[in-house]
Structure 1
């Protein structure tokens, strides 16, 4: 097994190579505006650091969100392209699940919440009973509108960090998505024979860019 994992659903452009037992190499850059520029060089770095050619990759793992439209589609299109060229499966994993797994690696267990920044004064969030067990579907809400029983739990992620008055038990680790954690979670799911989410974007809301309504059609003379 040699998994190439990456996620662009958050400001973290993160890529990693995982051999089924450990992370061989990982690269993470925090930049919310340059996903398209940074992802492929990150993949090149992890392959070079691990000393493994792209042709040896046996599967692609990609974060499917939730996340903003522009960044999220970079990772998914890149994953589909690699999967097609290499002839290997593409495994979609909820971005929040990757953060939950990383939280478990950092020592967090029991009920907790994962929240990422959704902009517009909102967060993407889900509740977990443990690092592998999500008990609610991913959602997007203003923090004050989330059930207080959820926000009172220990919380991880950049979304929780932005609203400490709501997520009063925020933990700083993990602060950002880790492709290494995403790959480790995918490897466990593969070993257990679990199904994966389709490698399709989980937006939860419409993109900011809209086709203008009521524009005038220009007719030839």
Structure 2
């Protein structure tokens, strides 16, 4: 059993999960990116490892914000990048659904999706989002992770709460999430998504070390 997460750690992890959820799940708009720039997101990003990858991610993101003026053309280019990566109209270049990586048929709502739904039901986790996405959309999973971490900041963290977080990561998110980040880094045309993917990978790997998680091994089909 790992050492209990401190309130500061929980707040940092919750904030990162919330940002990653927004980046991958929500079609980007100029106002959000402007807000990230004004908040100096790259500079304020929590230092988890001070690794080369983390420094590169922050630098990549900072470079994007430095060049961002908020023009309609820039916003359109970012939306097109989002669409190519996560939506289509052809096969998404960084498909956000777990089952297309974890199940041989590469279909939506396959057995791994069903297993995640059962996990949520067993722990009374109810998705309240208006999205019609399958529950194993990585953005939705980051949203659930953010919610769980947030609930742990409200009082003394219990072993049960920490186990739910660990099991979500071990059995459902970590087996495919780093592959999504790799594909984002490979195919993104903007340094916005490239930087976020670098920082997302650092975050996932840091959580696995901090919580002493060995992810369930799957053969990946993408």
Same fold (TM over 0.5): no
More helix by share: 2
What TM-score do the two structures reach when normalised by structure 2? 0.26
Higher share of residues assigned strand: 1
Give 1 or 2 for the bigger CA radius of gyration: 1
Per the normalisation by structure 1, the TM-score is 0.26
